[in-house]
Chain A
Amino acid sequence: MNAFPFADYLVTAIFALAVGLTLVGALVAALSTRIIRGVSGLMICCVGLAGLFYFLNSPFLALMEILIYVGAVCVTIVFGVMLSEPDEPAEPEKPGRALLWGGTAAAICLAVFLGIAHLAVNAPWATPAKLTTDGSVRAIGVSLLTTYSLPFELISVVLLVAILGALVIARSGRTKE
């Protein structure tokens, strides 16, 4: 088939690495007790997701995932952690209550996970007969400027309003005292 007989195993190994990074990162982000470890878990999860986006034929979104999530969102959350020191130890819950609520939350989330996974695996998905575009960066750019030009402009307005709102909220807290 090709000159490198182990290339398939290599691709599978990289895919398994991406899946494993996503799983481990999500678990760390959800379960760790210290916030800064949770942020690191979110970073690991986003790197794994970028790998998965690459496998899903979209290197552009893999780049954007690393640029926006790891580079902007996680760093901003780290700044928030630094400014608000969330790690002061809260008084420990009574073990019975912790077990009860933890068990309830875990049961709810396990039910959601199993239900959606069951639905997704058993759904009668229809594979399309033929593709209308090739999904390249060029095709994305063309449809962003033709079909999706209105949402594109709206999202820039949303970002502008978000930046202004963040500035106003953070500033009004400062002038009060």
Chain B
Amino acid sequence: MNHLHQQPAIYLVLAAFLLGAGLYGLIRRRTLIGMLIAGELIFSAASLNFMAVNRFFAPDPTVGQIFVLFIMGLAAAEVAIALSIIIAVYRNYRSIHSTEMSELKG
């Protein structure tokens, strides 16, 4: 019998939903930290997609796991860099709202 958790469509649709939610947050958020959170959602969508395809359709199930491990490492590095940039921006502008960082705007 076919269990619910063995159907790849559920995982793939859920990954697409995570991508949509991350995009919406990236467009609508006003602060840099909010946009960072939305970016993490998009990373999660990519990880879930890799894992679903890896589990159901790949002949070697280690490849997707290693790739997702690398995605996690890159996400951690990205968060470290982004937060230090955010703190530097906050020191200079006293704000991290994306509408107020407009010095280069013509």
Number of interface residues of A (CB under 8 A): 91
SS class of chain A's interface: helix, strand, loop or mixed? helix
CB-contact partner of B9 in A72, A77, A121, A129, under 8 A: A121
Question: Bound state CA distance, A42 and B18, in angstroms?
Answer: 11
Q: Is A100 interfacial (CB 8 A cutoff)?
A: no
In chain B between 8 and 49, which residues have their CB closer than 8 angstroms to a CB of chain A?
8-25, 27-28, 30-34, 36-38, 40-41, 44, 47-48
Number of interface residues of B (CB under 8 A): 76
Question: Bound state CA distance, A43 and B37, in angstroms?
Answer: 10
CB-contact partner of A133 in B48, B62, B99, under 8 A: B62
Asked if B90 and A155 sit within 8 Å, CB to CB, the answer is no
Asked if A133 and B60 sit within 8 Å, CB to CB, the answer is yes
Kindly report which residue of chain B lies nearest to residue A139, judged by CB atoms: B62
Question: Bound state CA distance, A165 and B92, in angstroms?
Answer: 18
Q: Is A3 interfacial (CB 8 A cutoff)?
A: no
| Residue-wise interface mask of B (54-71) relative to A, using a CB-CB cutoff of 8 A (1 in contact, 0 not) | 111111111101101110
Question: Bound state CA distance, A8 and B2, in angstroms?
Answer: 11
- Interface residues, chain B, with chain A CB atoms under 8 Å away: 3-5, 8-25, 27-28, 30-34, 36-38, 40-41, 44, 47-48, 51-52, 54-63, 65-66, 68-70, 72-81, 83-88, 90-92, 95-97, 99
- Interface residues, chain A, with chain B CB atoms under 8 Å away: 8, 11-12, 15-16, 19, 22-23, 26-27, 29-31, 35, 38-39, 41-42, 45-46, 49, 52-53, 55-58, 60-61, 64-65, 68-69, 72-73, 76-77, 79-81, 83-84, 86, 88, 90, 101-102, 105-106, 108-110, 112-113, 116-117, 120-121, 125-135, 139-140, 143-144, 148, 151, 155, 158-159, 161-163, 165-167, 169-170, 172-174, 176-177
User: Could you list 15 further interchain pairs (A-B, Cβ under 8 angstroms) beyond the known A45-B18, A61-B65?
Assistant: A12-B5, A29-B37, A61-B69, A80-B83, A86-B31, A109-B27, A110-B20, A117-B16, A128-B57, A128-B58, A139-B61, A140-B66, A162-B77, A166-B81, A169-B88
